[in-house]
Chains A and B, each alone.
Chain A
């Protein structure tokens, strides 16, 4: 197809990066019709990559010892060669920031640009969970606010005090998200109105929430998450699954700045929640995009055969799925599963078998694989994606089987394998494995006796009789008591199937 290679050297430089970026962009936008945020690509050193790891991949983050612990651990693993560094980190923000490691070769930089700046970027911008729950434009401002606010609190109230609240809030981070409620985004007017009321209130009362914000720090106008019931002092609605929200709003003894800290942790939890639900899809989307783009670059003569081979070598490493009894087994590889399923969707659209026509009548043979994938990327999460699109052929390829495990039994029973009678069962079972609502314990605040002894009663609704891990439960409850200020009890209850 003509065209001379964009680069032939192993080492990258900025002019080649720019050339490659433009070609990739052309393919991504014109051929694949990807819809992305503007990109900002930053080249960083390995040390900065470690820094980024330890702040949850965000470019800025408040200070806390747990991030130092993470850094120490990652650094040791890296220095001793147990783990390689990621080639990239990408942030769900607008502009979408991708970090590229300086040690990558030119081929790897091309791969990584396709993967992060277009694959992940498209997914962030289009997937319904991210659209609904995160505010890509606001997150960096919000983090800057959080960092400043927390350090101001440390100056004012002491580091130990601040650390105690953050420790406790971190312990409950997974229970600081709204799973099901889908609040509408408040309009600009509503935000302003709220602010105005806040100011008025401030004049009236000295105990108001915002009065004690350290001077000069206003919370940003648009925090990344939106609460359904923003109004302070409204009636408590029980049961409540968002424990941090309940503590922030109703915990009797907290001071205003402590509530704000909880709110920061809660906002972060909500920001990361879509990522937890779309690991397979997010990585699958990015991997599928880089795979497609790299091949198109090669087809157009824009990269050399050597580059293609280097890319394939790295790509096969990324999507390798060890078997369950392999010493390298560490759960399902989201890259492998995601890429496998998406490549399979393309195959089903292009060259379906009779079986595919049976299972996927809507898309089989349609030829519009990009349409099918765009729809999947926009409207599914891991659980529903697997339930909808995992094909019998892929189940055979992965040689999937299902085990039934009952606590106390000596052995597990094989309940289904990759055969005609097992496909549907395996598919649903795997989908449930990716349902965060089922894999996270379902804990709700059942009762809070605010007028009486202020006892907080939580219930863990057990899924199929699986209880909480006793030791960690007690530790977390201690944290919960610290934030609530009064007795907390946690009961196990049967939550049904």
Chain B
């Protein structure tokens, strides 16, 4: 019996994955506010090294709610429902309602959230998190510096050309041209030749050939020969058909920038303070790496004297000593003079300290800033790390330790000098966000 059903198997496993990536991006954009809140919270617990790793995110469904009309049997009315698994009940028995609703299956919907949807957890990649984190941040006052050095170039599509390397053949255009040419020149198709051949064969098989058939055979042979020759002359693809994708070089205006990270690691900075400072720089580091591929970062740490260190040293090594903040500023100036001329570079600095320095040094710092550093800098951020008790004492922006007060005078003079205080891990992101908000100080 012939079965009426036909079937076939298709192996889809090699099909492109990530079909729902577009939907995921839409969802992340939609839940942005919740995600940001949640990541910020989880940053509090994360170690320095964990910042910017893939992480689990737990968000509330606020903002991504999908409400539907539904019944609320708790609010009124009556109903009957059937359940399986009776062991002891007889008609007339009373069963106390459990707290979360009678019908266990619908228990969740009766929960306090009231919308029948729980918070939920999912994993985000580092990229996705940073994208959301840094999306509306930028380095303020970034200007194009003079392009003494050969400017950077990038390749840009520039239409089609008739010559190029074989890897850049544009097949679609090439085939289209070839097809048009074949049509125009009436190149016989393989099928046409087959038809001629078949007719010829049929005629030749006729045993008793009349004059008529013989002449027809001759004509056919001639026609066939012509067609075959024509196919030979008129190539399937001719060199004139071939097109190549063209690319043109385009200079990209370079705006080069350097970020000086100045961190106090002296004895007065406890582990907690150092940790906070490091988290701040970690965030800054990620931000710059992600957004500006041409930003140099210079790490300077100081106790009573300052050293330039590499990234690893900066974040992970321990060192201790007295405190002279101005030593870091001097170091910064020294490096700047040596390597980063203002003509070519946008100069930024971020400084973190607990605000304590040798007496008299604060004034010296302020002088250096006013006199030498601020004229060079596009932006200078000072972050003071306090403990929570101090934060209460210094609730007023104007009161503070010596360095703070000195720096307040600097910020009064320079609009591109910002001062902020951090006492808790949860302060880091808001402060960071405020410091690098898009185009505030223009």
Chain A interfacial positions (CB closer than 8 Å to B): 14, 17-18, 21, 25-26, 29-30, 36, 38-45, 47-48, 50-51, 54-55, 63-69, 71-73, 75-76, 79, 99, 102, 117, 159, 163, 167, 170-171, 173-175, 321-326, 329-332, 398-418, 421-422, 426, 429-430, 432-433, 439-441, 443, 460, 462-473, 475-476, 479
A76 with B96, Cβ < 8 A, contacts A321-B84, A417-B90, A475-B65 known: no
Query: Which B-chain residue is minimally distant from A75 (CB atoms)?
Result: B122
Residues from chain A with a CB closer than 8 A to the CB of B86 are 399-401, 417-418
Bound state CA distance, A199 and B103, in angstroms?
55
Q: Is the pair B7, A472 in contact by a Cβ cutoff of 8 Å? A: no
Cβ–Cβ < 8 Å partners of B241 in chain A: none
| Contact (Cβ within 8 A) A407 B84 | no
Is the pair B9, A401 in contact by a Cβ cutoff of 8 Å? no
The CA of A421 and the CA of B106, in the complex, are separated in Å by: 28
Expressed in whole angstroms, the Cα–Cα distance for A324 and B64 within the complex equals 32
Is the CB–CB distance between A69 and B27 below 8 Å? Answer: yes
Q: Would you call B97 and A42 a contact (CB within 8 A)?
A: no
For the complex, what is the distance from the CA of A63 to the CA of B24, rounded to whole Å?
A: 10
Given contacts A21-B7, A467-B72, A471-B114, contact A430 B27 (CB under 8 A): no
Q: Which of A18, A48, A75, A330 contacts B19 (CB 8 A)?
A: A48
- Bound-state CA distance A408–B73 (Å) is 10
**Contact, CB under 8 Å: A68 / B66:** no
From the candidates B15, B31, B75, B84, name the one contacting A467 in the complex (CB within 8 A): B75
A443 to B122, CA, bound (A): 35
* A408 contacts across to B, CB distance below 8 A: 76
Output the least CB separation between A40 and chain B (Å). Answer: 6
- CB within 8 Å of A: which of B56-109? 64-87, 89-97, 102-106
**How does the 8 Å CB contact mask read for B20-54 relative to A, with 1 for contact and 0 for none?**
10111111111100000000000000000000000
Per DSSP, chain A at the interface is mixed
Contact mask for chain B residues 168-198; partner A; CB cutoff 8 A; 1 contact, 0 none: 0000000000000000000000000000000
Q: Are A403 and B7 in touch, CB under 8 angstroms?
A: no
Known: A63-B26, A407-B75. A25 touches B5 (CB 8 A): yes
B84 touches A64 (CB 8 A): no
Which residues of B sit under 8 angstroms from A174, Cβ to Cβ? 68-69
Chain A residues contacting B79 (CB-CB under 8 Å) are 404-405, 464, 466
On whether the beta carbons of A324 and B104 are closer than 8 Å, the reply is yes
Interface residue? B121 (CB, 8 A): yes
8 Å CB contact of B74 from A407, A410, A415, A472 = A407
Tell me if B4 counts as interface (CB < 8 A to partner A).
Answer: yes
Contacts A25-B7, A417-B91, A465-B76: A429 and B82 contacting too (C-beta < 8 A)?
yes
> Residues of B contacting A71 with CB < 8 Å?
20, 23-24, 27
Query: Taking A326-B85, A412-B95, A433-B82 as contacts, is the C-beta distance between A470 and B75 under 8 angstroms?
Result: yes
Chain B residues with CB under 8 Å of A479's CB are: 67
A76 engages B24 (CB within 8 Å): no
Given A43-B10, A405-B81: A441 in contact with B71 (beta carbons within 8 A): yes
In the bound assembly, the distance between CA atoms of A283 and B129 in angstroms comes to 41
- Whether the Cβ atoms of B97 and A39 lie closer than 8 Å is no
Question: In the complex, which residue of chain A has the Cβ closest to the Cβ of B82?
Answer: A430
Q: Which of B6, B65, B91, B115 contacts A422 (CB 8 A)?
A: B91
- B17: interface (CB < 8 Å): yes
Cβ contact within 8 Å between B84 and A414:
no
A398, B84: Cβ atoms closer than 8 Å = yes
A36 contacts which chain B residues (CB < 8 A)? Answer: 5
Q: Tell me if B116 is interfacial: C-beta within 8 Å of chain A.
A: yes
A residues less than 8 Å from B7 (CB atoms):
21, 25, 38-41, 117
The reply to whether B78 and A414 form a contact with Cβ atoms under 8 Å apart is no
Closest to B95 in A: A412
- State in angstroms the CA–CA spacing of A479 and B65 once bound together: 12
- In the complex, the chain A residue whose C-beta lies closest to that of B19 is A51
Interchain CB contact under 8 A, B85 and A18:
no
A330 to chain B, nearest CB (A): 5
Contacts A63-B22, A67-B23, A72-B122 given: A403-B95 contact, CB under 8 Å?
A: yes
Instruction: Out of B17, B19, B87, B105, name the residue touching A399 (CB < 8 Å).
Output: B87
Closest Cβ neighbor of A330 among chain B residues? B105
Which of A18, A29, A440 is close to B4, meaning CB atoms less than 8 Å apart? A29
Which residues on B sit within 8 Å (CB–CB) of A72? 24, 27, 120, 122
CB-based contact B12/A467 at 8 Å: no
Q: Is B1 part of the binding interface, using a Cβ–Cβ cutoff of 8 Å? A: yes
Other A-B contacts than A29-B3, A47-B17, A65-B23, 6 sampled, CB-CB below 8 A, are A67-B23, A72-B122, A406-B78, A411-B97, A417-B89, A417-B90
Q: Is the CB of A68 within 8 A of B25?
A: yes
Task: Give Cα distance in the complex from A151 to B409, angstroms.
Answer: 55
Q: How far is the CA of A334 from the CA of B159 in the complex (A)?
A: 59
15 contacts between A and B (CB under 8 A): A42-B11, A43-B11, A65-B30, A69-B64, A102-B13, A171-B66, A175-B69, A325-B104, A401-B86, A403-B81, A404-B79, A407-B74, A413-B94, A432-B80, A468-B72
Find the residue from B3, B30, B84, B95 having the highest chain A CB count within 10 A.
Answer: B84
Within 8 Å by CB of A40, from B8, B13, B26, B96, lies: B8
Contacts of B83 in A (CB 8 A): 324, 400-403
